[in-house]
Amino acid sequence: MRKLLIVAMMLFVFCAVVAAQNSPKVEIFGGYSYFRFGINNPGFNFNGWDASATGYLTKHFGLTGDFAGDYGSYVESDGVTANVSVKHHTYMFGPTFAMPSGKLTLFAHALFGGAHYSESFLSLNHSINGFAMAYGGGVDVNANKKIAIRLGQFDYVYTRFGDANLNHLRYAGGIVFKF
The CATH number that applies at residue 144 is 2.40.160.20
Of 136 and 6, the structure prediction assigns the larger pLDDT to 136
Of 84 and 76, the structure prediction assigns the larger pLDDT to 84
Average the pLDDT over 129-156 and give the result.
97
Beta-carbon count within 10 A of 48 CB? 18
Most confident of 3-17, 30-44, 143-157: 143-157
HSE of 150 in the Cβ direction (CA atoms, 13 Å)? 25
pLDDT of res. 65 = 98
Count of domains for the chain: 1
pLDDT at residue 178 tops 80:
yes
State which residues form the domain around 76.
Answer: 2-178
Average the pLDDT over 33-39 and give the result.
91
Spell out the residues 6+ positions from residue 111 whose beta carbon is closer than 8 angstroms to its own: 64, 66, 92, 93, 94, 133, 134, 135, 155
